[in-house]
Structure 1
Amino acid sequence: DAADWLVKKGIAFREAHAVIGKLVLYCIEAEKNIEDLSLEEFQDISPKFDEGIYDH
């Protein structure tokens, strides 16, 4: 999942879990599905996100 992907990018699992929590909250508030987010939206939550997130 996305948390594991972030861990592979060098983020500690605990931090990755927190980032995913923020991501889910953002999606709920913006009424968007995670797969519909732009790279910019992902990077607003964490700069560790890159285009590879779409392949995951």
Structure 2
Amino acid sequence: MAEKKKSRAKAEQAKGKAKEAAGRAVGNERLEAEGRTEQAKGDARQAKEKAKDVFRH
């Protein structure tokens, strides 16, 4: 289960980076901001899973 959540975090980060790059490429600030937000969500999810791992071991 934890691996599934970790991969979801990585996917969110990648999707966010892609959105941010696309927004920057076309000059769409809203899309760029959405991308940064998704990356932040992925970062937070990843940090949460890493913290769980520390307490499990």
Normalising by structure 1, report the TM-score: 0.40
**Rg larger in 1 or in 2?**
2
Normalising by structure 2, report the TM-score: 0.39
